Amino acid sequence: MSVVEKQHSAEAMALEARFGAQNYHPLPVVLSKGEGVFVWDLEGNKYYDFLSAYSAVNQGHCHPKIVGALKEQAEKLTLTSRAFYNDQLGRYEQYLCNYFGYDKVLPMNTGAEAVETAIKLARKWGYEKKGIPAGKAKIIVCQNNFHGRTITIISASNDPVATENFGPFTPGIISIRYNDIAALEEAIDENVAAFLVEPIQGEAGVYVPDDTYLEEAQAICKKNNVLLIADEVQTGIARTGRLLASCGNCSCPEGLCSGTPQVKPDVLILGKAISGGVFPVSAVLAREDIMEVIRPGNHGSTFGGNPLACAVAMAALEVVREEGLARRAEALGNRFRQRMKEIIAETHWVRLVRGKGLLNAIVIDDTEDSSTAWEICMALKENGLLAKPTHGNIIRFAPPLVMTEAQLEECISIIRKTLLEFQKEA
């Protein structure tokens, strides 16, 4: 047996505490195996995964088709860098552009890299196409956003945990209220290059804007020659019941992306589930007239567009189509919210449930600086379900989209039991 297999959870957590930077505060569970909607800890305890690595594992843990693509490509060629062509990148770029309805794609590795890429792209477009004076370009963002943790991205954050003692920050970023069209109109001037927005604010607590918000924002952006950039790292790839939360001309089956909003962003940011959680992959897609401002040497990375990533991502996106994961997320999400509303009527601990598809959250009847949501998640863990607070009073529920209706009902029963037990003991 390997050292890891002999290890106990307490030992694994102690090793992280001793040798790792303490930049996360995880639930005290050490996972060593995953399959579909389930994960197991070192002691063999089985749990439902209700976080999906923040929506990176939409296709379920260790999906055989995606893992198979990884193994097959890993035995042939893993990395060339972009110093040379490789036989997978062009196929992948064509596949991705056709899949989501864009002209060009710039491949990267992580969500934060993709957001940085989109910001650089928007600024360069602003100078070269819109005519913004050098050094004056502005990017509008929304309060309570989560786009990543690089210096430029936290410059757009109003979360003190993300920003304290990390300054000075990147200039040229304007923050406005989310879901406030008047605030967007007021913030736009001739030097604004782009509006960067999440179609649903996941980290903020699955905050779903008004149905017309994105469409109205797009109209304002078009009127003012401002790029609309949608960060769909967490909301994309079928999570919200459509291939994209913004929808807009993706190559989905007829009628699958009906409803609102109906927006095609000028720039689309993808990551996480684009590779099914098997390999770091992200991408920025845009029209040709936008992407053409990027020229050799302007941007890139050694691993961006590597053949292993390309093969994995194509397999992961094929799974989404073949297994109808967007349609399943929509149906199961409707069922989840309906059942949670019934449970809310039984307990005074939960104020509301909100979300779209299988991206949902419950708001606990307590303050944001409380530990109630954490304590409930600890109790859920003991009952066989893993979730994580996103604030002191919000719990996000985002299981893999391969979940069956029977499994969802079992999970709902676990949540109900836990909340009623917690209420009794409080």
* CA nearest to 192, candidates 129, 152, 136: 136
Residue 6 binned pLDDT confidence (cut-offs 50, 70, 90): low
Mean pLDDT value of segment 378-404: 96
> Is the pLDDT score of 255 beyond 60?
no
Residue 233 pLDDT grade (very low, low, confident, very high; cuts 50, 70, 90): very high
Q: What is the mean pLDDT of residues 43-49?
A: 97
Give the pLDDT score at 425: 77
Q: Is 369 a catalytic residue?
A: no
The mean pLDDT of 251-266, rounded to a whole number, is 69
What share of the chain in percent tops pLDDT 90? 91
Q: 46: exposed, middle or buried (C-beta count within 10 Å: 0-12, 13-18, 19+)?
A: exposed
Residue 175 has pLDDT above 80, yes or no: yes
Name the band, by pLDDT with cuts 50, 70 and 90, for residue 252. Answer: low
Catalytic, out of 50, 231, 264, 388 = 231
Query: In the structure, what pLDDT confidence band is assigned to residue 7 with cuts at 50, 70 and 90?
Result: confident
* Confidence category of residue 368, pLDDT binned at 50, 70, 90: confident
Catalytic residue among 50, 100, 146, 422: 146
- Give tens-digit pLDDT for 82-134: 999 999 999 999 999 999 999 999 999 999 999 999 999 999 999 999 999 99
Residue ranges of domains in the chain, CATH in brackets: 3-59+325-425 (3.90.1150.10), 65-322 (3.40.640.10)
Region 267-289 average pLDDT: 98
**Each residue of 177-190: pLDDT tens digit?**
999 999 999 999 99
Question: For the chain, what is the mean pLDDT?
Answer: 94
> Cβ neighbours of residue 145 under 8 Å, at least 6 residues apart?
156, 157, 178, 196, 197, 198, 201, 203, 204, 231
- The confidence score (pLDDT) of residue 423 equals 84
Structure confidence at residue 392 as a pLDDT band (50, 70, 90): confident
Which is the catalytic residue, given 124, 130, 138, 272? 272
- 138-142 and 192-197: which strand pairing? parallel
CA distance 145 to 176: 10
Sole residue written with tokens 């999970």: 411
Q: Are 215 and 378 spatial neighbours (Cβ–Cβ below 8 Å)?
A: no
For residue range 121-172, what is the model confidence (pLDDT) as tens digits? 999 999 999 999 999 999 999 999 999 999 999 999 999 999 999 999 999 9
DSSP string, 69-118: HHHHHHTT-----TTS--TTHHHHHHHHHHHHT-SEEEEESSHHHHHHHH
User: Can you say whether the dihedral through the CA atoms of 398, 399, 404, 408 is positive or negative?
Assistant: negative
The secondary structure of residue 306, as a DSSP letter, is -
Q: How far apart are CA 195 and CA 153, in angstroms?
A: 14
Q: What is the pLDDT of residue 257?
A: 61
Q: Where are the extended beta strands (E) located within 255-383?
A: 267-270, 282-286, 350-356, 359-364
Q: What is the 3-state secondary structure (H, E, C) of 259-292?
A: CCCCCCCCEEEECHHHHCCCCCCEEEEECHHHHC
Residue 2 has pLDDT above 50, yes or no: no
Q: Residue 265: is the preceding peptide bond cis (ω within 30°)?
A: no
Q: How far apart are CA 378 and CA 373, in angstroms?
A: 9
Instruction: For residues 195 and 225, give the distance between their C-alpha atoms in angstroms, rounded to a whole number.
Output: 11
Q: Are 390 and 203 in contact (CB under 8 A)?
A: yes
267 token code pair: 């720039």
Check if the beta carbon of residue 222 is closer than 8 Å to that of residue 292.
Answer: no
Q: For helices 89-100 and 307-322, what crossing angle results, to 10°? A: 30
Q: Look at residue 70 and tell me whether its pLDDT is greater than 60.
A: yes
Confidence of residue 258 (pLDDT cuts 50, 70, 90): low
**pLDDT value at 60 more than 50:** yes
pLDDT class of 391 with cuts at 50, 70, 90: confident
DSSP-assigned states of every residue in 110-151: SHHHHHHHHHHHHHHHIIIII-PPTT--EEEEETT----SSH
Predicted confidence at residue 348, as pLDDT, reads: 85
pLDDT reading at 247 higher than 80: no
Q: Which of 73, 81, 153 is nearest to 111 (CA)?
A: 153
How would you list the strands of the sheet with 350-356, edge to edge?
350-356, 359-364, 394-397, 388-391
CA dist 410 and 332 (Å) reads 13
For residue 303, what are its two tokens? Answer: 């691993």
What does the alpha-carbon distance between residue 141 and residue 321 come to, in Å, rounded to a whole number?
Answer: 32
d(CA 388, CA 54): 10
List the single range of 50-59, 344-353, 417-426 with lowest mean pLDDT: 417-426
Nearby residues of 47 by Cβ (< 8 Å), 6 or more positions away: 29, 38, 39, 40, 41, 381, 384, 385, 386
Show the CA angle centred on residue 120, arms to residues 117 and 123, nearest 5°. Answer: 150
pLDDT at residue 254 in the model:
45
Mean predicted confidence (pLDDT) in 283-297: 98
Could you confirm whether 272 is annotated as catalytic?
Answer: yes
The answer to whether 19 is a known catalytic residue is no
Q: What predicted TM-score, i.e. pTM, was given to this entire model?
A: 0.95
